[in-house]
Structure 1
Amino acid sequence: MLNEDHRVACVNFAQQNLNRDWSQVIFLDEKTFSSSQDSKLPLWRLDNTRYEPNHVLYTQRSGRISVGVFGWILSNGPGELVQIGGRMNRAQYVRILNDILLPGILDRYAHPRPITVVQDNSRMHTCRIVRTWLEAHRDEIEMLPWPAKSPDLNPIENVWGLTVQQWQDELPENGFNRNVENLYGHCNRVWDRLRNDNMCQNIVDSMRNRLQLVIESNGYPIKY
């Protein structure tokens, strides 16, 4: 629940970062995409809202499939989308940072290092093994301290939402063969199409306006 401390932190963050060049920032996150038993209804939810009534989908357990993914974006487009095997743990997250994220952003990022990166404040992202890895790579990656309870600030949440919209629009009329491989393949094809437009740029460019709205709303949630 958003409390006064969270709101103050959001306002302070907005004031301190209002003039930041957000086109030079990497945003990363992981999400779970799910299909109903008829494969036609995708489900997307913000972190830590699994059991809120408007995020609960009542289906037969045997007919539902899910796939977890990790992805990252920057202003000029999305990076890799990686399938997560099972429930991601801390060691797996560090392997993704080391083997997928770091090589990917160093290959694409032509600006001076360290590279500024945003992740949310989940326990997995802030655990000791992750902090140790970040400390070892501080000359290459700098994590931007991010205010808690602020998914409306993070542009990658909008990318997930738009990915779901395209996923829903593109599903075959009769669904698809219900297995994890096909579901991940479909997500990956939609993600790849994002490389061919300026959606990521438009969303990242909205950061200054988001921060201004946070200041004006005194830290209460904004509509983004």
Structure 2
Amino acid sequence: MNNRVLVWRQPGEEWTPSCLNPGCGSRLSLMIWGCIPYESVGTFTVVTCNINDLKYIEIVDHFVWPVTFCIARHFPDDNYIYQDDNAPVHRANSVKEYMEKHQLHGMEWPAQSPDLNITENMWRKIKLELQKQTHNITTKSQMETAIRNIWTNIPVEFIRKLVVRFQDV
């Protein structure tokens, strides 16, 4: 179901308030950063400002390190890969230096390749689930709550399939 609203109206009534969707013309959006380890959905935060290199490093400090300590248990030889979404800020020299200093092992991969990106596939799943709820969401707070609920209920099997599919490429 695509949540379309159909309205029966007479000719000339297309702009009558009773024939309009109350949410028509308004669009809510949130910038979200999430960490997706193999074992679970990981940490999640709403970002309320533009992300530059310093903000990105701050996010990694606050939201990746708690997950990294858990990951280290599963990868004692440090043979894990930190994958980002290839945004330009992730390629800033200060970010590269930070990642190297803290031994967050990243990888080089082609830009504009969402099929190779676990993150993009995860966001697609979240967006599809969120679309089913748009009729109940009128504020950013409601949107955040809905996304958090979707996020925490994504099955670990789905995440593992993405990881395995990525490894096979």
Which structure 1 segments of 5+ residues have no match?
1-39, 42-58, 212-224
Q: Residues 59-91 of structure 1: CA distance to partner in whole angstroms, max 9, x if unpaired?
A: 63xx22210100121332211111111222221
Match of 1:92 in 2: 55
Which structure 2 segments of 5+ residues have no match?
5-23
Deviation at 1:208, TM superposition (A): 4.3
Match of 2:136 in 1: 175
Identify which of 126, 141, 165 aligns with 1:206: 165
Identify which of 129, 140, 147 aligns with 1:187: 147
Identify which of 123, 132, 135 aligns with 2:97: 132
Distance in 2 (CA, whole Å) between partners of 1:166 and 1:109 is 31
Change in Cα spacing, 1:198 to 1:85, as seen in structure 2 (3 Å) is same
Deviation at 1:191, TM superposition (A): 0.1
Q: How large is the RMSD of aligned CA atoms in angstroms?
A: 2.2
Distance in 1 (CA, whole Å) between partners of 2:62 and 2:77 is 18
Match of 1:116 in 2: 81
Contact in 1 for aligned 2:34/2:43 (Cα 8 Å): yes
Contact in 1 for aligned 2:37/2:67 (Cα 8 Å): no
Deviation at 1:113, TM superposition (A): 4.8
Identify which of 103, 106, 112 aligns with 1:149: 112
Query: TM-score, with normalisation over the residues of structure 1?
Result: 0.58
Larger radius of gyration: 2
Change in Cα spacing, 1:113 to 1:82, as seen in structure 2 (3 Å) is farther
Deviation at 1:108, TM superposition (A): 4.1
The share of aligned pairs that are identical, in percent, is 21
Structure 1: 4+ residue segments shifted above 3 A:
none
- Bigger RCO of structures 1 and 2 (CA < 8 A, at least 6 apart): 1
User: What is the number of equivalent residue pairs in this alignment?
Assistant: 146
Deviation at 1:116, TM superposition (A): 2.0
Distance in 2 (CA, whole Å) between partners of 1:106 and 1:113 is 13
Match of 2:29 in 1: 66
Structure with more strand by fraction: 1
